Amino acid sequence: MKVIPAIDLRDGQCVRLFQGDFGRQTGYTHEPVELAHQYETMGFDTLHIVDLDGARTGQPKNQEIVCDIVETTGLTVQLGGGLRSDSQVDRWLSAGLARVVIGSLAITEPGRVAGWLADFGAERIVLALDVNVDTSGVPRIATHGWQRGGAMALWQCIEDYLAIGLKHVLCTDISRDGAMTGPNLDLYRELIRRYPEIGLQASGGVRSINDLMVLRQTGARGAITGRALLDGKITTEEVATFLRAA
């Protein structure tokens, strides 16, 4: 299982939001490009970047930083946040990104996203399917920066896209994001049980190296962590030991 550090960008700065709420932001002093180099030095080979400004406006706002990271590190970089047009997807992939991460549009404009899977290749498209688990235990997808709840079940969405070649899903339990309460292991185990062919990136709630160890046992292909690394809850030494055991 790959451990994938996350860098969330807002106004050119590293930040973390609590459950996607722009009003509940934690800022960090790390310079984003330097932080990416630090993660590479720690032994990570993949990086997840979220352009929060792009997510709000639909227009990328941190291109220079993202391109600098792509050009000056050897990291495999994937980017999400506000990608809403064919030209934006093409521009980012042509700029050296390994993958683009598509969120709300996968629900609101499935035909367009299906076209991207066909045109750019399923290896280069990650669907970010962010869920709230309802009272009956069904994970239901939220859209528009988690501000709108949806009726669509996670399983229905994955099955629809599997039929046209989907390979990568980034799944976040919104209630766990930024909360440092531990990942939703039951959700990820069930997703992998149903769809073992999917390359799952588990996101939300990682608070320690122990959480990563348990996530690895679920069969997830990747685990995204942001705050735990930024806050020093996962140390360089722990990362080195974990990666050696991979």
pLDDT mean over 180-208: 95
CA 169 and chain centroid, separation: 9
Q: List, in order of start, the domains of the chain with CATH numbers.
A: 2-244 (3.20.20.70)
Query: Is there a catalytic annotation at residue 90?
Result: no
Has residue 141 got a pLDDT over 50? yes
Using pLDDT thresholds of 50, 70 and 90, give the confidence band for residue 161.
very high
What is the tens place of the pLDDT at every residue in 61-119? 899 999 999 999 999 999 999 899 999 999 999 999 999 999 989 999 999 999 999 99
pLDDT mean over 121-129: 97
Has residue 164 got a pLDDT over 80? yes
Strand partners, 6: 48
Alpha-carbon distance 220 to 216, whole Å?
6
Contact 118, 107 (CB under 8 A): no
Long-range contacts of 20-23 (CB under 8 A, 24+ apart): 20/130, 20/145, 20/146, 20/147, 20/174, 20/177, 22/52, 22/56, 22/145
- Selection from 102, 60, 55, 62 nearest residue 78 by Cα: 102
pTM greater than 0.95 (yes/no): no
Q: What is the CA radius of gyration of the chain?
A: 17
Least confident piece of the model among 51-60, 80-89, 233-242: 51-60
3-state SS class at 138: coil
State the catalytic residue, choosing from 53, 130, 173, 177: 130
Has residue 24 got a pLDDT over 50? yes
Using pLDDT thresholds of 50, 70 and 90, give the confidence band for residue 180.
confident
Percent of the chain with pLDDT over 70: 91
State the alpha helices, DSSP H only, in the chain.
Answer: 32-42, 52-57, 63-72, 86-94, 105-108, 110-120, 154-162, 185-194, 209-218, 227-230, 236-244
**What per-residue confidence (pLDDT) applies to 22?**
57
Average pLDDT, the chain: 90
pLDDT mean over 44-61: 86
Query: Is there a catalytic annotation at residue 211?
Result: no
> What DSSP element (H or E) covers 85?
none
CA–CA distance from 51 to each of 15, 35, 154, 239 (Å)? Answer: 10, 15, 24, 25
pLDDT mean over 155-163: 96
Q: Which one has a higher pLDDT value, 22 or 119?
A: 119
What is the tens place of the pLDDT at every residue in 26-38? 667 789 999 999 9
